[in-house]
Amino acid sequence: MAGRLRWGGRWAVSGVVAVLVALTAMLSALAAMAGWDDESEKPDPDVRSIQRLLERRAEAVRDRDKDAYLATVDRVASRHRTDQQRMFDDLAEVPLSSWQYRLVRKGGFPPVVGTGRRVAVQVELSYRIKGYDTAPVVAPQRFTLVQHGHRWYVAADEVFDGEPGAAAPVADQRDVQQLWDQGRVSVVRGRHSLVLGVGHDRRYLQDVAETADGAVPAVQRAWRGPWAGRVVVQVPSSLGDMAGLLGGSASGYRGIAAVTTGEIGGSGTVPADRVIVNPDAYDVLGDLGRRVVMTHESAHVATRAHTSPSTPLWLSEGFADWIGYRETKTYPRQVAPELTRSVESGKLPRELPGDADFGFTGDGNVLAQAYEQGWLACRMIADQWGERKLVAFYRAVGKAPDRQGAVREALRRELGISEDEFTERWRSYLKKQLGAQAEPQPRRQQVP
pLDDT digits (tens, 9 = 90+) for 367-416: 999 999 999 999 999 999 999 999 999 999 999 999 999 999 999 999 99
Domain boundaries, the chain: 46-162, 174-306, 308-448
Dihedral, CA of residue 415, residue 416, residue 420 and residue 424, to nearest 10 = -60
245-258 pLDDT per residue, tens: 998 889 889 889 99
* H/E run at residue 323: helix 313-325
Does the domain at 46-162 match CATH 3.10.450.50? Answer given as: yes
pLDDT value of residue 359: 84
* Alpha helices in 224-312, H assignment, sequence order: 239-246, 279-282, 287-303
pLDDT value of residue 437: 61
CB atoms within 10 A of CB 227: 21
Residues of the chain with pLDDT under 50: 1-43, 45, 160-173, 266-270, 441-448
* Alpha helices in 64-201, H assignment, sequence order: 66-70, 78-90
**Could you tell me whether strands 151-156 and 137-148 are parallel, antiparallel, or unpaired per DSSP bridges?**
antiparallel
Pairwise CA distance, residues 380 & 189, whole Å: 37
pLDDT value of residue 109: 81
Pairwise CA distance, residues 265 & 262, whole Å: 9
Residue 223: C-alpha distances to residues 76, 79, 83, 292, 390 (Å): 55, 50, 44, 15, 10
Radius of gyration for the chain, computed over Cα atoms and rounded to the nearest angstrom: 27
Q: Is 241 left (phi over 0), alpha (psi -120 to 50) or beta?
A: alpha
Pairwise CA distance, residues 287 & 441, whole Å: 21
pLDDT value of residue 59: 98
Could you please state the CATH topology (level 3) that the domain comprising 174-306 is classified under.
Zincin-like (3.30.2010)
The phi, psi pair for 158, rounded to 5°, reads: -95, 175
The phi, psi pair for 96, rounded to 5°, reads: -100, 140
pLDDT value of residue 436: 65
pLDDT value of residue 18: 41
In angstroms, how far is the first alpha carbon of the chain from the final one? 66
Q: Are 114 and 163 in contact (CB under 8 A)?
A: no
3 state SS of 432:
helix
3 state SS of 16:
helix
